[in-house]
Amino acid sequence: MQILRSLLFRLASTAVTLVGVAVIVFFVIRVVPGDPIAMMLPPGATDEDIARLTALYGLDKSIPEQFFIWAGGVLQGDFGTSITARRPVLDLVLGRLPATLELSIMALVIAVILGGVAALTGTRERGTKVEAGIDVANGMALSVPDFLWALILILLFGVAWPVFHISGRVTPSLDLPFVTNFYLFESLVRLRFDLWADIVSHMFMPALALAIPLAAIIGQLLKQSLKETMHLDYVTLARTKGYGENHVIIREALPNAILPTLTLVGVQFTFLIGGTVIIERLFSYEGLGNMAIDAVINRDLPLIQGIVILFAVLFTVVNLVVDLTYALLNPRLRNA
């Protein structure tokens, strides 16, 4: 009952957040410099041409008037039409969302694996040179930003040893039988491992670039939690029962130590989605982030609004899922 009430409260606050984001983004992008009409003015355009184009894109009305027209459309599922692509914004952003989601999830999986292995190994080898080595690697991974990792990876695995593809999401010459834009997922469902390998080959470097800093954070926090847990009585009891160190760490200490890390992963995942903007650009990956940069450069106001709203929805949903998962995993909260 408590969880249900909490869920309803979170949904209500999510709705308020989204309305707030919509209002802010709508007004802010109209106040910042850069008029989309001025950008498409050809040499020799007259005042009449400017007025005609301004009216054509609905920018001749007052900003509040434009907002209510846009908000009215959004409530009916119409996010407007992109100025540059001349297509419905909703189609464009939903078409790109799967690519960004797949990339983010793959990055998260890589980060959890790398961070988890580092934390478990560091805990297992605590006080040794191995732990010191892991700490140094963590420090390096954290201090180098993801876009720099991207460039290093491009240089290593794109140019020096060209194993992975540098740009795009899939090889253009391949015929794709997909009906959704979740290429990675659908290729597995269809058992098309040839396509799956090609998609992974395109996703691996951007995902790894996104994952490395997050893996370092996970590794550090989880190792710290594990080390604290290793001193608790029930862990000592497990040891006295004769369980091996691996069993003690994984079966006894990890379930308790993982909770703070889980919360952190949830928060960091939203940052990771935000990080896709730059990484997708560097790898020419056809996701929302890449589209967002183009939209900002071209001052494609309806598209910027659509992307920001979608990012806001993603962030709030991820946070909600994390909170719910935390509540389900934490016995004290679950039984409250």
Partner 1 sequence: MKLTRRNMMKLSAATAAAGAFGLPAFAQNIDELVIAYNTTLPSWDPTTGPSAVNPTIQGIYQSVFDQFILQQPDLSPAPGLLTEWGWNDDRTKVMMKVRQGVTWHDGSPFSAEDVAWSLARAADPATGNPINFVWSTLENFAADGDTVTADVKQFDPTIFKWMYFLTGYVLPKAYYEKVGADGFEEAPIGTGPYMVEKFERNAFVRLKANENYWGGKPDFETVTIKFVTDAAARVAEVESGNAHVTLEMPYEEYDRLKGTLNGVAAPISDIGMIFLNDIDVMLDENVRQACALAIDKQTIIDRLLSGYGVAIDTLQTPEYEAYEASIKVPYDPEKAKELLAASGYSTDNPVKFKIQTTRGFKPKDYEMIQAIVGLWRRVGIEAEIEVYEIAKHYELRAADTLAPAAFYNWGNSVGDPTTSTGFAMFGPSPHSVWDGADLIEKIGPLWGEADEAKRIEGWKEVDRYVAENALVIPLLQYVQPILSAKGVEVTPHASGALLPHLMKRA
Interhelix angle 2-31/63-75, nearest 10 degrees: 140
**Angular region, 34: left φ>0, alpha ψ -120 to 50, beta rest:** left
Q: Least Å distance between CB 154 and partner 1?
A: 5
Distances (CA, A) of 193 to 110, 171, 173, 331: 20, 14, 16, 40
Question: Rounded to an integer, what distance in angstroms lies between the CA atom of residue 318 and that of residue 249?
Answer: 29
Among 166, 250, 324, 327, binds partner 1 (CB under 8 A): 166
Binding mask 177-216 for partner 1 (x = CB under 8 A): --------------------xx-xx--x------------
DSSP symbol at 175? P
Query: Which residue, 49 or 65, has its beta carbon nearer to partner 1?
Result: 49
DSSP symbol at 172? T
Our finding on whether 71 is near partner 1 (CB under 8 A) is no
Segment near partner 1 (CB under 8 A), from 123-131, 226-234, 239-247, 297-305? 297-305
Our finding on whether 49 is near partner 1 (CB under 8 A) is yes
Our finding on whether 167 is near partner 1 (CB under 8 A) is yes
Beta bridge partners, 81, equal 88
CA trace torsion 265, 267, 271, 276 (10° rounding): 50
Q: Least Å distance between CB 310 and partner 1?
A: 15
Among 291, 307, 309, 310, binds partner 1 (CB under 8 A): 291
Query: Which residue, 87 or 334, has its beta carbon nearer to partner 1?
Result: 87
Among 6, 14, 263, 284, binds partner 1 (CB under 8 A): 284
Q: Residue 82 in contact with residue 89, Cβ under 8 Å?
A: yes
Binding mask 134-153 for partner 1 (x = CB under 8 A): -----------------x--
**DSSP assignment string, 50-97:** HHHHHHHTTTTS-HHHHHHHHHHHHHTT---B-TTT-SBHHHHHHHHH
Query: Which residue, 283 or 315, has its beta carbon nearer to partner 1?
Result: 283
Q: Residue 275 in contact with residue 211, Cβ under 8 Å?
A: no
Q: Least Å distance between CB 83 and partner 1?
A: 6
Question: Rounded to an integer, what distance in angstroms lies between the CA atom of residue 301 and that of residue 126?
Answer: 53
Our finding on whether 250 is near partner 1 (CB under 8 A) is no
Q: Which of 105, 94, 204, 219 is nearest to 157 (CA)?
A: 204
Binding mask 299-328 for partner 1 (x = CB under 8 A): x-----------------------------
Question: Rounded to an integer, what distance in angstroms lies between the CA atom of residue 327 and that of residue 334?
Answer: 6
Q: Least Å distance between CB 167 and partner 1?
A: 5
State the residues that interact with partner 1 by CB under 8 A: 33-50, 52-53, 56, 82-87, 92, 95-96, 151, 154-155, 158-159, 162-173, 197-198, 200-201, 204, 281-284, 286, 290-291, 293-294, 297-299
